[in-house]
């Protein structure tokens, strides 16, 4: 069966359920009473988990934090829940593929239908082969989450949580109607020590038979520093090419899924917002970003322009960064991010920009 690419946290599960597909963004229904917007049960539950996660960070309560994550479920609970997700997915595949006339089904569709029916016929047996790898992935996710929690709540943490003010929560639920595994993002915005921060629960999932839980790595973002870094990047390639020609620079265009792709997020946090990169890029590069977010909807003109660039430069995955000359010709391509530190990453790009070390 063709599977989506595993990316991270609960990776295989999100992969199998089709959460990797870009959600549509239907128009929001008009509320008949704007002064008193209705809050769904899921929104209430997500607000609660956001408040509980924040409280765990303030108190440094590791056990409380772990209990709010997918990795905090027992192995038996996880196995039952994930098997149910896979079984629901198989039923969805069958329903969709059987709606296609038999004489119009291609080889991949026929094979997918066969495998889906085999899974439904014996889900326990079929899932037994998948479970060990899934268990390992979720265990690794749990360790990563706990490492992050401990790094942010020890005496060497970047902020003093006792100074944190009351948080504001922003909930974003994936609106995709036929999604097998409900998913959402929770942003916890607060101030501490005179700065503003966002604790981002990039993905929360609602497994069958369980409440919402943190299902992905977390991010703590210094909003002041991020706002400064964001000013470095434009959104118009023509403008960047014009700047490069006038100032004798190259253009670096970044294709990214800024709010959902783990590698894009890591590259942003560890490299593109760091002073080492920013100071060097300000002297040598005109920066432009083509973003393909899932949790926000860019203006249609910008979204269409980004899609044209995606096709023009034959970009197949995120992150992809292209070094261009002032005429828009590709000089070098960087695909993916392998967790290099900022010095290593910038050093490699410098060599491509100046092969002779000039």
Choose one of 205, 223, 241: the last residue of a domain. Answer: 223
Residue with the larger pLDDT of the pair 17 and 107: 107
Residue 181 pLDDT > 70, yes or no? yes
**Element housing 124 (H / E):** helix 123-128
Which of 197, 223, 249 is where one domain is finished?
223
> According to the model, what pLDDT value does residue 177 have?
73
Helix (H, G, I), strand (E, B) or coil at 144: helix
Is 352 strand, coil or helix?
A: helix
Whether residues 83 and 190 fall in one domain: yes
Q: Give the residue among 127, 150, 147 at the shortest CA–CA distance from 56.
A: 150
Residues 342, 270 contacting (CB under 8 angstroms): yes
Residue 285 located in a structural domain: yes
Closest CA to 20 of 91, 94, 122, 89: 89
Instruction: Give the pLDDT band of residue 32 (cuts 50, 70, 90).
Output: low
Same domain, yes or no: 268 and 207: no
5 band by pLDDT with thresholds 50, 70 and 90 = very low
Give residue 33's pLDDT: 55
Is 145 within the bounds of a domain? yes
209: left (phi over 0), alpha (psi -120 to 50) or beta: left
- Number of domains present in the structure of the chain: 2
> What CATH number corresponds to the domain at position 282?
3.40.30.10
Same domain, 195 and 304: no
Q: Is there a single domain that holds both residue 177 and residue 296?
A: no
How far are the Cα atoms of 263, 269, 291, 341 from residue 272, in angstroms, in the given order? 12, 7, 14, 11
Q: What is the model's pLDDT at position 20?
A: 37
Q: For residue 110, is it within any domain?
A: yes
Distance CA 114, CA 119 (A): 9
Confidence of residue 36 (pLDDT cuts 50, 70, 90): low
> What domain range includes position 329?
232-353
Residues 6+ positions from 293 with CB-CB distance below 8 Å: 257, 258, 259, 260
* Pair (181, 251) in one structural domain: no
CA distance 313 to 290: 12
What tokens appear for 320 in the block? Answer: 């992809």
Q: Are residues 200 and 52 in the same domain?
A: yes
Asked if residue 62 and residue 187 are part of one domain, the reply reads yes
DSSP letter for 143, please: H
Q: Is 82 inside any structural domain? A: yes
What predicted TM-score, i.e. pTM, was given to this entire model? Answer: 0.72
Task: Tell me which of 35-44, 87-96, 159-168 is least confident.
Answer: 35-44
Average pLDDT, the chain: 87
Q: Please, what is the end-to-end C-alpha distance for the chain in angstroms? A: 51
Same domain, 276 and 173: no
Place 79 in a pLDDT band, splitting at 50, 70 and 90.
very high
**Length of the chain counted residue by residue:** 358
Count of alpha carbons within 13 Å of 318, Cβ hemisphere only?
23
Does a structural domain hold residue 35?
no
Of 196, 223, 250, which residue is a domain's last?
A: 223
């Amino acid at each position: 069966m063709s599977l989506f690419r595993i990316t991270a946290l609960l990776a295989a599960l999100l992969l199998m359920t089709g959460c990797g597909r870009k959600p549509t963004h239907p128009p929001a229904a008009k509320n008949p009473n704007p002064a008193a917007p209705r809050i769904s049960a899921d929104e209430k539950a997500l607000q609660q988990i956001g408040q509980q996660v924040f409280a765990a960070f303030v108190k440094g309560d590791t056990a409380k934090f772990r209990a709010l994550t997918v990795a905090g479920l027992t192995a038996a609970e996880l196995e039952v829940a994930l098997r149910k997700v896979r079984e629901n997915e198989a039923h969805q595949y069958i329903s969709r593929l059987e709606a296609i006339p038999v004489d119009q089904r291609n080889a991949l569709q026929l094979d997918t239908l066969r495998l889906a029916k085999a899974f439904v016929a014996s889900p326990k047996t079929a899932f037994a082969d998948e479970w060990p790898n899934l268990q390992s992935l979720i265990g690794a996710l749990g360790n990563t989450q706990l490492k992050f929690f401990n790094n942010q709540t020890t005496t060497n943490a970047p902020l003093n949580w006792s100074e944190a003010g009351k948080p504001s929560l922003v909930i974003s639920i994936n609106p995709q109607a036929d999604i097998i595994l409900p998913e959402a993002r929770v942003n916890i915005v607060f101030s501490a020590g005179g700065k503003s921060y966002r604790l981002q629960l990039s993905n929360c999932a609602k497994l069958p038979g369980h409440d919402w839980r943190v299902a992905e790595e977390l991010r703590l973002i210094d909003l002041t520093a991020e706002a400064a870094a964001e000013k470095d990047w434009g959104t118009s390639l023509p403008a960047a090419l014009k700047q490069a020609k006038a100032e004798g620079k190259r253009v670096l265009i970044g294709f990214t899924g800024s709010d959902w792709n783990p590698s894009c997020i890591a590259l942003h946090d560890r490299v593109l917002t760091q002073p080492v990169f920013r100071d060097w890029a300000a002297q040598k590069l005109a920066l432009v970003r083509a973003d393909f977010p899932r949790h926000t909807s860019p203006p249609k003109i910008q979204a269409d322009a980004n899609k044209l660039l995606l096709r023009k430069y034959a970009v197949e995955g995120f992150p992809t960064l292209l070094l261009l000359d002032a005429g828009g010709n590709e000089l070098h391509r960087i695909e993916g991010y392998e967790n290099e530190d900022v010095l290593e990453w910038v050093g490699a790009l410098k060599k491509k920009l100046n092969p002779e070390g000039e």
